[in-house]
Amino acid sequence: MVNNAINTNGNYVNGANADIAITTHGSDFYFAICAAMTVAAFSFVGLAFRKHRRDRIFHYITAGVTFVAAIAYFTMGSNLGFTPIEVEYRRSNPKVSGMFREIFWVRYVDWFITTPLLLMDLLLTAGMPWPTILWVILVDEIMIVTGLIGALVRSSYKWGYFTFGCVALCYILYQLVWEARRHTTVLGQDVKRVFFMCGTLTAVLWTLYPIAWGLSEGGNVIAPDSEAVFYGILDFLAKPVFGALLLFGHRNIDPARLGLKIADYDDDPSVSGRHEKVVPSNGHSGGVLEGNTNGHHNGVANGTHDGISNGHNGVNTAAV
Ligand code: RET
């Protein structure tokens, strides 16, 4: 099959021509990552069926991440989801010597949706309190948005946004490698191990993103095809590979151990809170069972001799 995306969708967008843009090689690479993300997404959904519905939280989060990435990579492979931005530095290297660089804003839409989910994967594994999780996610959104704004700015002010983003990243990494890691020590060896593996991978990979940005959207040093490979490999490691490691590490971990006790209607009544709730609520309904020592028999005993006398008690109680 011939890849005709560059010709079909063109480089002229929003009143300018992106003369520093991907070639068919870059497009092919984006499509290849799209395929990998799609396979990973369906595999993660498939693996979810092996778990009880209430134990699928990590499968759903991780599958969602790869589905969203698949769409973003389809868009970039199609040479869509970008705008031409005038470069701050014009380079002599013919691959980046033009005036307007193709900036894929769709990358940031992907990251805006998926990086909070990746952080949820990690911070829920570490059993962190939800206000901390929300707070770290907010800082993450700031990081992504400042990266987007910086990429769309043509003057040196872009580096101001970049700096804000880097500060945000440092804070996120501190939370991951210090606060959250320490939190796993009380949760058992298996939790500690999966968090350590996935947390370390994340810390290393996430540090490389601002370098890719500095060489691409920031400094216009590497060609858009190289940008595709740099970000593509990072995203592949940060999503499908990270996801597979995480789900494998979670295979014998009950989410309830992490504070994620989730109820389902077909839960075993002898262990769930559902059945326990039914008994006391009957015990308190009206005055009928008032003073009934057999109240825990849940109505059955009320048809017996006891039940009749209780009925009298109930009436009396109600009358008082
Ligand atoms: C930007 C530029 C601004 C400064 C910093 C950045 C960091 C981005 C990161 C992105 C991570 C993306 C992931 C995607 C998953 O597939 C926005 C490039 C610090 C860390 C993990």
| pLDDT exceeds cutoff 60 at 318 | no
**Mean pLDDT for the stretch of residues 225-231:** 98
114 lines ligand 1 (CB under 6 A): yes
Residues 6+ positions from 262 with CB-CB distance below 8 Å: 54, 55, 57, 255, 256
Q: Tell me the pTM.
A: 0.84
The best mutation among 139, 143, 242 to test binding of ligand 1, ranked by most ligand atoms within 8 Å of the C-beta, falls on 143
Evaluate: CB of 84 within 6 angstroms of ligand 1: no
- Kindly state whether residues 290 and 245 are assigned to the same domain: no
* Res. 56: pLDDT tops 70: yes
Q: How many domains does the chain have?
A: 2
- Give, for ligand 1, the residue of 118, 120, 206, 241 to mutate: max count of ligand atoms closer than 8 Å to Cβ: 206
Q: Which of 250, 242, 314 is nearest to 282 (CA)?
A: 314
Q: What is the mean pLDDT of residues 259-268?
A: 81
Domain boundary residue among 240, 258, 276? 258
Report pLDDT for 265: 81
**Residue 147: CB within 6 Å of ligand 1?**
yes
Q: Which two tokens stand for residue 253?
A: 């971990």
pLDDT at 26: 98
Residue 295 pLDDT greater than 50, yes or no: no
Specify the pLDDT at position 172: 98
Indicate whether 300 pLDDT > 90.
no
Write phi, then psi, for 243 (nearest 5 degrees): -60, -45
Cβ atoms of residues 195 and 125 within 8 Å: yes
pLDDT for 270: 60
Q: Say whether both 12 and 132 belong to one domain.
A: yes
Regarding whether 217 and 76 lie in a shared domain, the answer is yes
**Are 106 and 81 contacting, i.e. CB atoms less than 8 angstroms apart?**
yes
Whether 57 is in the pocket of ligand 1, judged by its Cβ within 6 Å, is: no
Distance, C-alpha 210 to centroid of its chain: 20
Domain that holds residue 58: 5-258
- CA torsion 245-251-256-262 (nearest 10°) is 90
- Asked if residue 189 and residue 312 are part of one domain, the reply reads no
pLDDT digits (tens, 9 = 90+) for 152-164: 999 999 999 999 9
Residue 289 and residue 254 share a domain: no
